[in-house]
Structure 1
Amino acid sequence: MTNCWTAWDCQGCSAKERQGSLWTMNRYTTLKQLGDGTYGSVLLGKSNETGELVAIKRMKRKFYSWDECLNLREVKSLKKLSHANVVRLREVVRENDYLYFVFEYMKENLYQLMKERNKLFPESVVRNMTFQILQGLSFIHEHGYFHRDMKPENLLCMGPELVKIADFGLAREIRSQPPYTDYVSTRWYRAPEVLLKSNTYSSPIDIWAVGCIMAELYTLRPLFPGNSEVDEIFKICQVLGTLKKSDWPEGYNLATSMNFRFPKCVPTSLRSLIPNASNEAITLMKDMLQWDPEKRPSAAQALRYPYFHVGQALGATS
């Protein structure tokens, strides 16, 4: 049995209409495996009709009804998100109780792009990539979602010229009711409120992650490479300094309720850690990396920072 809808053409179709679709995975030839994760594996495929390359994500668990598929967070969020800096979902197919997402093909992810580099990116390139990430994130947040798993592996690229946000498996609606699970995002990009087990966090956790990613784009090294949750907080304290209660009372109280004591650290300036960044870049990163989530700019506010007010065309160029 095959059920299918295309991401844009069939959003209004009834379940009955979708079930009558003749589109099956036979329309694609799989070429090789691109990756394997907890919930699914990703294959490189080719459309038999057009020859166009696609990325096919095959979910590992089985889905026994179409409604079950439609309730997946990844389906719900991507159905609503069409933007130049959000990866495009072309269609979803359920065949023999397996679910397949067919995405536009992107050559690599940001982690791979950085790993391949043998010299630092020029600031103009970092600025353009950061701009595209914030553009995509601003669109996601304005449409009522936050990503919860922003990290270089989930930012897909066609070289440094084009960056798109991908993998919405952990996305939540901003208006959805907490408590949320505390285990989100790879540890190195995890915001302090998540590390301190807050269950009422929201979109500012994505902004924290972008601050970490932006710093990494300048240095090609992670900013807070903790080897455990406690070590992650220690790494953050080494840069931001010990948290004072007056800086973020809620975070201080979260730590107290966990019987956690912040290590005594003198702050290290971002300027000394990222010497190749301009003053405007340092200002933006410092604001995105505030302990208190309320003090971080929104993605839309971040895009208005002087860092982006330069004589440079910003945005996707390919």
Structure 2
Amino acid sequence: MNRYTTIRQLGDGTYGSVILGRSLESGELVAIKKMKRKFYSWEECMNLREVKSLKKLNHANVIKLKEVIRENDHLYFIFEYMKENLYQLMKDRTRLFPESAVRNIMFQILQGLAFIHKHGFFHRDMKPENLLCMGPELVKIADFGLAREIRSRPPYTDYVSTRWYRAPEVLLRSTSYSSPIDQWAVGCIMAELYTLRPLFPGSSEVDTIFKICQVLGTPKKNDWPEGYQLASAMNFRWPQCVPSNLKTLIPNASPEAIHLMTDLLQWDPKKRPASAQALRYSYFHD
């Protein structure tokens, strides 16, 4: 760590704290993530999902892991530095984004995600705080603490991601979800970029499902049979809701934008377009 000077703390999370640092060799700013638990061997470090996934991922819209350092049983990740996240960018705005800015941000998120999925990972915690940016011009996906290999076998833990961006199959405690949960989160983020307000701000998991029903309408049994099985397994009773029109909720979105959001926010994960597919929508091709 003697090749870096530390400037100030940037944040503190469950697994570690993040410090702003500078490389003494190049003079460039870096974000240093120091893990809370101790690591007694390199092997132990290399088994961490974050190391495995990020070491393999090199893309303009995925945060770059520059190096991993183990010193005195402490583990440090050195990342490229980005000045803010998408949550902060939205919070600080006084007016809505023009659609061109939303489209540019969405394009970058989907490019990064298509790359991650193509390499056999899914993120599991897509939310505005995990999208780092330098203004709306440059966005990168970060925080792979929860990323896991798509090939790895279920069951997975049902607790993932902040509740508001959590896909219905996860809210209904499915243990065999996959990359479509990232697509759902992207749909939620897209809506929020237009309105600057979360689309499904539930106060609990069940409340979040209610909020989703109020917007999308209650799913029909033959539209999503697995969802009905999950619901009955946890004794969840579907509220009877008629769908709201997304266009009414998000009046500043073009018909092409509404089309993409509607498809990303499908109850049935099998019906959500993958990132590479979403990039082919007319929304991105005037």
* Pair in the same fold by TM > 0.5: yes
1:173 to 149, 160, 164: 149
Deviation at 1:66, TM superposition (A): 0.5
Instruction: Count the aligned residue pairs.
Output: 286
Deviation at 1:284, TM superposition (A): 0.1
Match of 2:284 in 1: 308
Give the SS at the match of 1:224.
coil
Deviation at 1:225, TM superposition (A): 0.2
In 2, Cα distance between equivalents of 1:306 and 1:49: 46
In 2, Cα distance between equivalents of 1:107 and 1:257: 44
Further displaced range: 258-267 or 288-297? 258-267
Matched, 1:131 2:102: no
In 2, Cα distance between equivalents of 1:111 and 1:43: 19
Report % sequence identity: 82
1:149 to 125, 130, 140: 125
2:161 to 157, 179, 185: 185
- The amino acid that maps onto 2:213 is C
1:39 to 12, 15, 20: 15
Deviation at 1:266, TM superposition (A): 1.3
Match of 2:94 in 1: 118
In 1, Cα distance between equivalents of 2:259 and 2:144: 29
Deviation at 1:290, TM superposition (A): 0.2
Q: CA RMSD in A?
A: 0.5
In 2, Cα distance between equivalents of 1:50 and 1:80: 23
Deviation track 1:223-270 (CA, whole Å, cap 9, x = no partner) reads 000000010000000001112101100001110111100111111111
Deviation at 1:48, TM superposition (A): 1.3
In 2, Cα distance between equivalents of 1:272 and 1:116: 25
Q: Is there any run of 5+ residues in structure 2 with no aligned partner, and where?
A: none
Calculate the TM-score normalised by the size of structure 1: 0.89
Deviation track 1:21-74 (CA, whole Å, cap 9, x = no partner) reads xxxx11111101100000000000011122110000000000000000000000
Give the SS at the match of 1:26.
coil
In 1, Cα distance between equivalents of 2:243 and 2:195: 19
In 2, Cα distance between equivalents of 1:288 and 1:249: 18
Deviation track 1:253-307 (CA, whole Å, cap 9, x = no partner) reads 1101111001111111110010000000000000000000000000000000000
- The amino acid that maps onto 1:165 is I
Matched, 1:202 2:175: no
Matched, 1:295 2:281: no
Matched, 1:67 2:43: yes
- The amino acid that maps onto 2:219 is L
1:227 to 203, 217, 233: 203
Matched, 1:85 2:61: yes
Looking at CA atoms only, which structure, 1 or 2, has the larger radius of gyration? 1
Match of 2:240 in 1: 264
Q: Is there any run of 5+ residues in structure 1 with no aligned partner, and where?
A: 1-24, 311-318
Deviation at 1:174, TM superposition (A): 0.7
Deviation track 1:207-234 (CA, whole Å, cap 9, x = no partner) reads 0000000000000000000000010000
1:164 to 140, 151, 156: 140
Give the SS at the match of 1:168.
coil
